[in-house]
Homo-oligomer: A and B are copies of this chain.
Amino acid sequence: MKLITAIIKPFKLDEVRESLSALGVQGMTVTEVKGYGRQKGHTEIYRGAEYAVSFLPKLKIEVAVKSEMADAVIEAITSKAKTGQIGDGKIFVTPLEQVVRIRTGETDGDAL
């Protein structure tokens, strides 16, 4: 199995979620994160004190999937989360050795 982690622009979440559901992905976990990268941030000024805000709000989506589904999921995320603007984000794929559903104790494929 694979753990697919995507960093996306916040307002893209719903589109991505729907396309994944369409693929039959039954669940995902989302985290509010701050991203640093090529996309440049803002400057805040308070009574003359300037603060560069180099970290921008992003969402991190984590989806555990069977290996065979990985490409389809990556494809779906890429197409939906893309705006073409700098800062669209990244997708990371890491190996997933085991999955357990806490409620039932089911493991791996059955747990997804």
Chain A positions near chain B (C-beta within 8 angstroms): 2-3, 6-8, 17, 26-38, 54-55, 58, 60, 64, 74, 77-78, 81-103, 105, 111
Q: Give Cα A97–Cα B55 distance, bound, in whole angstroms.
A: 26
Q: Give Cα A112–Cα B90 distance, bound, in whole angstroms.
A: 8
Give the Cβ gap from A58 to chain B, nearest Cβ, in Å.
Answer: 7
A to B CB contacts below 8 Å, 20 in the list: A3-B92, A7-B29, A17-B36, A17-B54, A27-B35, A28-B35, A28-B36, A28-B37, A29-B35, A29-B36, A30-B33, A31-B34, A64-B90, A89-B103, A90-B111, A91-B98, A91-B99, A91-B102, A94-B94, A95-B95
A84 — which chain B residues lie within 8 A by C-beta? Answer: 103
A82 — which chain B residues lie within 8 A by C-beta? Answer: 102-103
4 more contacts with CB within 8 A, not counting A78-B102, A83-B103, are A3-B92, A27-B37, A29-B58, A74-B100
